[in-house]
Amino acid sequence: MNIQALLEQKDNKYDEYLLLQDHLYNKIPDNQRFDLIRQAVECGKKAAENIKTTSLWEYCRQEGITIDFFQEEMKVENFRFVLAEFQLPNHIRINQSLLQIAKPLLLTQDFLKNQQVSEILLAHELYHYLENQQQLFTVQKQLSYRTGPFKRRARLYSLSEIAAMNFAREYFGLSFSPVILNIFLIYPIAPEHAEYLVRQLLVID
Ligand SMILES: [Zn+2]
């Protein structure tokens, strides 16, 4: 796994990668992509600046958010790994099994600088709580597009992911995109899939 190349990848490449994953990506006009990413990044950063607490766990407790560390059997066949998730209205789930399995690998990574990965995952999910609670840009923004004769409007969920990653990044002052952690967390279980993600992240131009 080429970690150095991942760390040297330009920040906006991770945001572009997330937008590319949107199932409506092809409906987004070319000339809007850059602006949508910029607005999502700003939205995430601003939400982080508004959090005046030294402990996100404590912040969640005060907000009445329940946090559940769940265990599950990890199999390489399961290509869809849930690292963590937010469930409306106020429930966050974090995959304890993935964290445990990835721990030895994460401990050898200097770029983390003792940053707790579980807390970065928590920050990401906390953003999803906040965007709903405060009806932020990433929830309100709707894309208008056509399918055949029909006009439709829909949310772009990738904008929420971009904002959530930038929220975590801003809150902790990280020098890397938390997107990288997804790769580290699944690598011990599904190395080939992790390598595939790395290749995808590195070919964006
Ligand atoms: Zn998310």
Q: Output the pLDDT for position 77.
A: 72
Please state, for a pLDDT cut of 90, what percent of the chain lies above it: 80
- The number of folded domains in the chain is 1
CA of residue 168 to ligand 1 center, whole Å: 11
Give residue-wise pLDDT tens across range 83-98: 999 999 999 999 999 9
Average model confidence (pLDDT) for the chain?
A: 93
Model confidence at 4, in pLDDT bands (50, 70, 90)? confident
CA of residue 93 to ligand 1 center, whole Å: 12
Give residue-wise pLDDT tens across range 117-171: 999 999 999 999 999 999 999 999 999 999 999 999 999 999 999 999 999 999 9
**pTM score > 0.85 for this model?**
yes
CA of residue 5 to ligand 1 center, whole Å: 24
CA of residue 149 to ligand 1 center, whole Å: 32
Give residue-wise pLDDT tens across range 34-66: 999 999 999 999 999 999 888 999 999 999 999
Q: Output the pLDDT for position 85.
A: 96
CA of residue 123 to ligand 1 center, whole Å: 10
CA of residue 125 to ligand 1 center, whole Å: 6
> Which residue do the tokens 């279980």 mark?
189
Residues 6+ apart with CB under 8 A from 141: 36, 39, 155, 156, 159
CA of residue 71 to ligand 1 center, whole Å: 19
Neighbours of ion ligand 1 (CB under 5 A): 161, 164
Return the H-helix or E-strand segment holding 160. Answer: helix 157-172
- Per DSSP, 110 falls in state G
- In this prediction, residues 177-199 reach a mean pLDDT of 92
| Structural domain for 182, as ranges | 3-203
CA of residue 1 to ligand 1 center, whole Å: 24
Question: How would you classify the pairing of strands 91-95 and 66-70?
Answer: parallel
Beta strands in the chain (DSSP E): 66-70, 84-87, 91-95, 142-147, 150-155
Structure tokens at 133: 């609670």
CA of residue 85 to ligand 1 center, whole Å: 7
Q: Per-residue pLDDT for 69 more than 80?
A: yes
| Number of other residues whose CB lies within 10 A of the CB of residue 105 | 13
- Of the candidates 99, 81, 111, the residue with the CA atom closest to the CA atom of residue 9: 111
82 SS3 class: coil
Q: Output the pLDDT for position 79.
A: 62
| Number of other residues whose CB lies within 10 A of the CB of residue 127 | 27
Model confidence at 202, in pLDDT bands (50, 70, 90)? confident
CA of residue 120 to ligand 1 center, whole Å: 11
